[in-house]
Amino acid sequence: MAYVVTNKCNACKFTDCVEVCPVACFYELDNQVVIHPDDCIDCGACVDVCPVQAIYAQDNVPAEMSADIEFNAAQARQVKDGGTASITEKKEPLPTAAERRKALGY
């Protein structure tokens, strides 16, 4: 059971999660990060550090975000298979992050 980055990350792209990941399974998209499901070791270290609570265990993804499971997996595989390295160091969030975080209620 891998962890999944949901669409709550979209327009935020906080990267606190990538620093605590012991296996470097995060990949960067333009508007968010994703977790490679085959590389994730299910440690859960990333969950508590996400400022917008965007990361869930695959079996616990809320029903309204279930499409994010396939999106996360497909995008992570595409980026990795394309030769892009995983992201392991924290970066500045997107300029829209503060507004998005507030809209999400955090």
pTM, whole model, 2 decimals?
Answer: 0.95
pLDDT of residue 57: 97
Measure the CA–CA gap between 70 and 24, rounded to whole angstroms: 20
The pLDDT tens digits of the residues spanning 29-77 come to: 999 999 999 999 999 999 999 999 999 999 999 999 999 999 999 999 9
Q: What are phi and psi of 18, to 5 degrees?
A: -70, -30
Q: Given the structure tokens 């079996």, which residue do they identify?
A: 59
**64 is written with which tokens?**
């309204």
3-89 has CATH 3.30.70.20 classification? yes
Tell me the domain boundaries of the chain.
3-89
- Count other Cβ atoms within 10 Å, centred on residue 16: 13
